[in-house]
Copies of this chain bind each other. A is one copy, B any other.
Amino acid sequence: MLKILTLIGARPQFIKSAAISRAIRGVFSDRLEEVIVHSGQHYDANMSSVFFEELNLPSPNHHFKLSATGHSEQTAEIMLQLEKILDLENPKALLVYGDTNTTLAGALVASKNNLPLIHVEAGLRSFNKKMPEELNRILTDHCSSLLFCPSESSIENLKKEGIVHREGKCSSDAPGVYLCGDVMYDNSLYFSEKVKEGLADYLVQNNYILFTLHRPSNTDDPDRLKAIYVSLIEFAEKFEKRIVFPIHPRTKKAMMHVLTEGEWDSLRNHKFIYVTDPVSFHEMISLEKNCELIITDSGGVQKEAYFFQKPCLILRSETEWVEIIDQGVALLIDASFDDLSEKYQLLKSKKLIFPELFGDGKSAEFICDKIVKEIQ
């Protein structure tokens, strides 16, 4: 029985870990034992007990309390607390996800203790080190013994930094680097099977558009936010298309600040646009699975659009998921009605195909299998 310690601390990490925890507690229950540590990095209402129940997430075995808010203090505090847990639990490897301060703190503590580090979502790069996530990714990958990459491009990114797969038992000097697909695809398939509840009555399957907006580059620039609002209304009216808009709290606040009261009311009461409070994880899956098309600025939702074979318009000037753009099923758009409607029509007019870019929905089992085989 191989005991591994999973360190997670942000909402997306909990969601990703759900896929691997299912595999560990299912097919691998006779070979793997998992201790879950919640770093306490994020604590918000979206991570209530409902969230854990929806995801079938086991409760964390350890939960840190952090006092710091700055990036380096936060990282250092997680390191100090994690060190104590390693002494207590004595795992054979540490598993981390993505690119947060939690990820980096785990990477550093594992390295300093000569404990094999497993990194899920390895090799992603934005090539902008001003973003704290970029250095977290790079440093974590260089500390890792097992690197699980969601895409070919992430394998290539690692190669350019001298991190290449070596055969045999993994170590930080001779790491195992694997293309494993995306554990989020595992989740989407799994939960879309489970989620059977119907849509709201007024939503006709495949005949509404799902719209999400939360990125500061969109919400914190008043001119841009106003332009997005105008484009959305014009678009809905021109195409007479229902738009479901689960509104992020930050976006709601920004809109109420930027729009006039009349504008805000006309959005909320629009006959084609349904503005709703944030939806649950299950409801979101259902909305994605049944829509006609998605307009979003979220990295996660872009990918989920692909998982459910939906065309996607991305309200950003760049994306880390270049594969879906290259595949021609998603397009970057400006905050303008003309660009939005032109690219909407372009996507509608094409025959779209969605090859398996993100694995076969069994990434978690693949990852667990490699962990069992490669960790000494």
**What is A's interface to B at a CB cutoff of 8 Å?**
70-73, 75-77, 79-80, 82-83, 104, 108-109, 111-114, 127-130, 132, 135, 138-139, 142-143, 160-162, 171-173
Contacts and interface: CB of A to CB of B under 8 A. Distances in A.
A160 B160 CA distance: 7
Contact of A172 (B104, B111, B114, B129): B129
A144 to B, nearest CB: 10
A66 to B, nearest CB: 12
Given A142-B142, A161-B161, A173-B128, A79 B72 contact: yes
Contacts of A71: 112-113
Nearest to A129: B172
A296 to B, nearest CB: 27
Contacts of A109: 72
A106 to B, nearest CB: 10
A132 B112 contact: yes
A122 to B, nearest CB: 15
Contacts of A114: 130
Q: Give the interface SS of chain A, mostly helix, strand, loop or mixed.
A: helix
A171 to B, nearest CB: 7
Given A142-B142, A173-B127, A173-B129, A79 B73 contact: yes
A318 to B, nearest CB: 15
16 contacts: A70-B83, A71-B113, A72-B83, A72-B108, A72-B112, A73-B83, A75-B108, A76-B76, A76-B80, A76-B83, A77-B80, A129-B173, A130-B173, A135-B172, A160-B162, A161-B162
A111 to B, nearest CB: 5
A75 B112 contact: yes
A9 to B, nearest CB: 16
A205 B132 CA distance: 57
Contacts of A112: 70-72, 75, 132
B108 A129 contact: no
A128 B114 CA distance: 12
A25 to B, nearest CB: 30
Contacts of A162: 160-162
A331 B173 CA distance: 27
A79 B79 CA distance: 11
Nearest to A86: B72
B130 A135 contact: no
Contacts of A130: 114, 171-173
Contacts of A132: 111-112
Given A72-B112, A108-B108, A112-B132, 16 more contacts: A71-B113, A72-B80, A72-B108, A72-B113, A73-B80, A75-B76, A75-B112, A76-B80, A77-B80, A111-B132, A127-B173, A128-B173, A129-B172, A129-B173, A130-B172, A130-B173
